Structure 1
Amino acid sequence: DRRKKKAVILELKIAQSTKNLKETALQAIKQIEDKRYAEEFFDDVISDIYCYGISFYQKSCIIEVKKIK
């Protein structure tokens, strides 16, 4: 944001079917955590870090959100 207090990290994944959209979105969040994408934002200036796992299959989409700081 303009005040440089919040950060948002997005990971997008393609699901194999509409049945596993939620599972794929959760895997996206897990990838953000495992690969430490947010590590560079862990300083005193950033107060909130949000991870968005976005999974889609054709025209269907699910978004999972996790606040990690």
Structure 2
Amino acid sequence: MANDMDDRLSVNIPVATLTASNSLLTWQMKGRLFFDADRYPAIRFTSSRGGGAGRRTFSSFWDTSA
């Protein structure tokens, strides 16, 4: 039987695809104030470990980088 704590997950999100509740916040999010899409076009979330946390639920610990 596999150990859930050995499971890994990696997610890459293009910063250009991010949207917020209003256009000003979207613009700020993509600019130097937050993610700086010109210098860092993608955000990467990588789990360091994780596992089942209940029915249809997954718990994970994340490392982030831009």
**TMscore range, shorter length:** 0.3 to 0.5
Larger Rg over CA atoms: 2
Higher helix share: 1
Give the TM-score, by structure 2 length.
0.34
